[in-house]
A and B are shown apart, each in its own frame.
Chain A
Amino acid sequence: MYETRLSRVFALYGGLLALLAVRAFTLQVVTRDEVLDDHRKRVRGRIVVAPRRGEILWDDRTPIVSNEPGFSVEIDFKSFYANRWSCGDCAAVMQPKQEPVACAECGSDRALARATRPDALLADLLGLGREEYEAALLGADAKQAKHPDYRYHEFFRDVDRDTATRIALAADRLPGIIVRARSRRTPVDAASEVVGTTREPYPEDVLELSDPERKERGERVYSIAEIYPLRFGARGLEKAFDDELRGAPGISRRTPRDKDGRARDPAVEIPVVDGVVLHTTLSRDVQVLAEEIVAAAPGNAAAVVLDVTSGAVVAIASKSKDGLNHAVCSILPGSVFKLATSVALLESGISPDDEVECRGKGVLPSGREYKCDAAHGAMPFVDAFARSCNAYFATMAERAGPEAMRRACSELGLDVNPTLRLAGTPCGLEYSGQGGRWYRADMAKIGIGMGKALVSPVQIAMAYARIASGGRRIAPFLLRDEAPSAPEADPSLARFALLIRDAARRVVTEGTGRRVTELGDVEAAGKSGTGDVNTRGTEHNAWFVAFAPASAPRFVAVVVYEKVAGHGAETAGRPVARLLAEALR
């Protein structure tokens, strides 16, 4: 019996040791990465190093938005409400557990009194009135109710440096109040629509970034502590490039002192990755002007300036109430779309000398009615372009046909809307639901920029830039890193580019834009457009697009005012001239 029992005792311990070996194998081999990942997220002494959100720069590399130190005042209610004693002699405030017998600062035992809560002092330092102060206190109290496990709760944010210093210096009289430094995104004045804004993490951000399935996709799974200090893009480029701008928080761990008792730097477990710097092509002065122009518009408006040689967006501004950037939204173009009709008719073999008789109002060869601003008489191409003759372009669009129009639109880049990652809508052929199909019956309207013709200001700027550059396939870009290689020339466009440029110059010298003298000052060539928004003709989309100098174009500018009473050139011509002048300066 002894031998049996002895062997069983040994077998028991042998079995336990074997189980330990299995446990070690599981820990060190099978689940090692999982355990270490989990540990990284849970252990104390872990420091989340918040990434620096990437800056957004003007073309000259000065920042449009950057991060600046900011300060917030936080409150620990337990300490704030706790019993305190103040010294009548030296005004020191003490917070011992028991009532002190003497002042800890000056040793006086004569005038120790229970201190009142330092609300007045705090309100005074923050420069808050009674109501504001109480509102802030209530806000912090609500945060405490929501997160009772946190010690400090934000009481007042975006405190300036001087106030923060004063509060910090009064720390002995403000128990439970701390000043915490927080990075602050500088507000943007110019380019606010393009650059957009940032926001605190939303619950859905937390859910997305902490989704364990990210690991299966090879992405990092973040903990709340890592997500909490991040800022997320809410609109504009901040939103479009949020992943890149946001960066990735790093993880460091406090390390114990070394064997000689010296403090050591935290060990970096995951290096912090700061957000990338977005170097835009925007020019500060032109952008400021563009913002000013759209801001002055009575309703929605957009302005775009492109560099003709490269396609770089020099300025892009929008004013709208729908949260979209109207520089990349579909807008009825009116006559600025006649550029596409021009290319279509010339490419389909129609001679520019072929004339169409304009009687101001009449019937097209197809039997459809047309209406023009005036009775232009017999019009060849250049004159018709300069005076924006609807009879000519409606007739020629019908002659050229939908295929030629489609091809012309593609060559001019009007088939797909380059939104530049801003919030926009589909335009042009992209907008048309049935694979961009246009029918011959649509041609009379499309030919004059009405009906199914819908384009964005950026598209129009690109189309005119292609003509201005001699037919090169210019594509707009907003970031220097995304600059395409030197655009090639499109032979079809190149054949007629000079002719159309001359026609556009005639618009300014003797056509619809002749009254805008500022256009002449910058030697502009362009085209006006008036898209009728209602059937009564009382509301228009007033467009003007121009490039300058006409002899060697460098910039193209588009301005559109939506739903205004005025016509294209008279309303939008002058702002375009200002933009070009500023860009050329």
Chain B
Amino acid sequence: MTGDLAGPRTGGPLDLVRKLDVRVVVPVLFLVGIGLWSISAARPAFAAAQLRWCGVGFAATCAVLLIPYRRLLDLAWPAWIVSIGMLAAVLVFGESRNGAVRWLQFGPVGLQPSEFAKVAQVLVLARYIRFRRDHRTFKGLFVPFLITFVPMALVMMEPDLGTAAMFVPVLFAMLWAAGARTRHLLVVVAFGIAALPALYHSMPQGHYQRKRVDVFVASFLPKPDGRPSAPKIGDATPKDAPRKHDTFQRDEAVATVASGGLTGHSRAVDEPAQYERVPESWTDFVFVVHAEEWGLAGVLLLIGLWTALLGGFAMVASELKEPAGRLVCVGALVLLGTQAVVNMAMTMGSFPITGVPLPFVSYGGSSMLASWLLVAVVLHAKARQPVVFSVGDFD
């Protein structure tokens, strides 16, 4: 069924570089460029650090490319176990920022283990599923779900609901691509949806995550016609209605995106940019900087780059014959794609605010490194794809 899992022999690092898939690398480099530009506009002091992390990510990619294919998959389980350990360590030793414990401090460097846990999940799922058929039964879904829910539960305890939610589409997409039965997955999805209200009510009243959901839901509820009821100047808003400070970040982000107009917001030299009012405009909300500065033209360029990158992943995935490589590509596509879509959607007010960064663009070493690692494994699968003789998908 399968051939040499160690992969073909290569002619050395230069040969590997030549084999890098431009359909993946070029969009990534453009996205990184956009990210650097936006960060330097919002927080010039952070641009150098981002560039350093970008260099680290690229170096990590090159390092991954040097690892033989089989060895890389052999590293999947250890990587997953290390990531679980780091996630557990975060809960014990983690550093609290903005009310959540998500970072582990290694000297001057702070790492967010949840970002690496996502990469480890992709690798370990790909390794686990690649030659199996039992995931096509309901019972066989148990282990993949367990592999996913362990890190997910730890991330939720940080608490980081947004990042935890990223594990789910990756799991489903990889299982589905590997041939899991749709109806089985739909049953699980139905159970998941049914459990959402319980999850919502399990959040403490006034908790910021609950407020974010409230704000998002409130934005779809019918509003009064905007006219204040005259005799009630200054009347209290209902106690459970989202308050102004709850919607602040979303309101500012949406208005900042809108202010970009068609080709970007022109302003006087001394006039502060609107994005300066958006909290975290250099990290999770970096999209607003780009959208304000370049307008719809820039946004369409960014969306186009993401489409190109995801398309690149899909093309690589379709060209590969080796099952683990295929699944890694699908996992990378879904993970990065989901993060990008969720990030841009939340910035434009179409999704609850989550702590999900825009890969390659947002400031953040862990996110940058993890994203590069995902790209690295895809490029690795493409550059070092083993010869596979198969009669059908995942056979």
A: which residues have CB within 8 A of B? 1-3, 5-7, 9-10, 13-14, 16-17, 20-21, 23-25, 27-29, 31-32, 35-36, 38-39, 42-45, 147-150, 201, 203-204, 206-207, 210-212, 223-224, 228, 253, 255-256, 258-259, 264, 267
- Offer 22 A-B interface pairs, CB within 8 angstroms, sorted by A: A2-B178, A5-B176, A5-B177, A6-B177, A9-B314, A13-B334, A14-B310, A16-B337, A20-B341, A23-B350, A24-B296, A27-B254, A27-B257, A27-B348, A29-B296, A39-B255, A43-B277, A149-B234, A206-B233, A210-B226, A211-B227, A212-B226
Say whether A149 contacts B236, CB under 8 Å. yes
Binding site of A, secondary structure by majority: helix, strand, loop or mixed? helix
Complex interface: chain A residues within 8 A of B177 (CB): 2, 5-6, 9
Chain B residues whose CB sits within 8 angstroms of the CB of A259 once the complex forms: 43-45
**What is the CB-to-nearest-CB distance from A327 to chain B, in angstroms, rounded to a whole number?**
35
A24 touches B257 (CB 8 A): yes
Q: Contact check: which of B248, B258, B261, B271 meets A43 at CB < 8 Å?
A: B248
- Which residues does chain A contribute within 8 Å of B244, judged by CB atoms? 42-44
| A9 and B345 within 8 A (CB) | no
Stretch touching chain A among B80-88, B110-118, B300-308, B372-380: B300-308
Interface centre among A32, A204, A211, by most chain B C-beta atoms within 10 angstroms, is: A32
Residues facing A in B303-325 (CB within 8 A) are 303, 306-307, 310-311, 313-314, 317-318
- Report chain B residues within 8 Å CB of A253: 277
A1 CB to closest chain B CB (Å) equals: 6
CB < 8 Å: which of B230, B303, B326, B338 contacts A20?
A: B303
CB neighbours (8 Å) of B234 from chain A are 147, 149-150, 224, 228
Q: Is the CB of A255 within 8 A of B225?
A: no
With A27-B348, A42-B244 as known contacts, state yes or no: A2 contacts B394, CB within 8 Å: yes
Q: Find chain B residues with CB under 8 A from A20 CB.
A: 303, 341, 344-345, 348, 350
A212 to B177, CA, bound (A): 52
B230 touches A13 (CB 8 A): no
Please, which residue of chain B has its CB at the minimum distance from the CB of A1? Answer: B393
What is the distance, in angstroms, from B174's C-beta to the closest C-beta of chain A?
A: 10
Give the residue name and chain of the B residue nearest to A203 (CB): B230
Q: Given A147-B233, A256-B276, A256-B277, are A21 and B333 neighbors across the interface (CB < 8 Å)?
A: no
Q: Does B251 interact with chain A (Cβ within 8 Å)? A: yes
Q: What's the minimum C-beta distance from A430 to chain B, rounded to whole angstroms? A: 36
Residues of A within 8 A of B259 (CB): 32, 36
B235 on interface, CB distance cutoff 8 Å: yes
Q: Are B341 and A35 in contact (CB under 8 A)?
A: no
Contact B393 A267 (CB under 8 A): no
B154-203 residues with Cβ-Cβ distance < 8 A to A are 173, 176-179
B317's partner among A6, A35, A203, A207 (CB-CB below 8 A) is A6
Contacts of B394 in A (CB 8 A): 2
With a cutoff of 8 Å between Cβ atoms, the chain A residues found around residue B247 in the complex are: 42
Q: A9-B333, A24-B296 are in contact. Are A31 and B228 (CB under 8 A)?
A: no
Q: Which residues of A contact B233 (CB under 8 A)?
A: 147, 201, 206, 224, 228
Contact status B303-A43, CB under 8 Å: no
CB distance from B356 to the nearest CB of A (A): 14
Given A16-B341, A42-B244, A203-B231, check contact A32 B310 (CB 8 Å). Answer: no
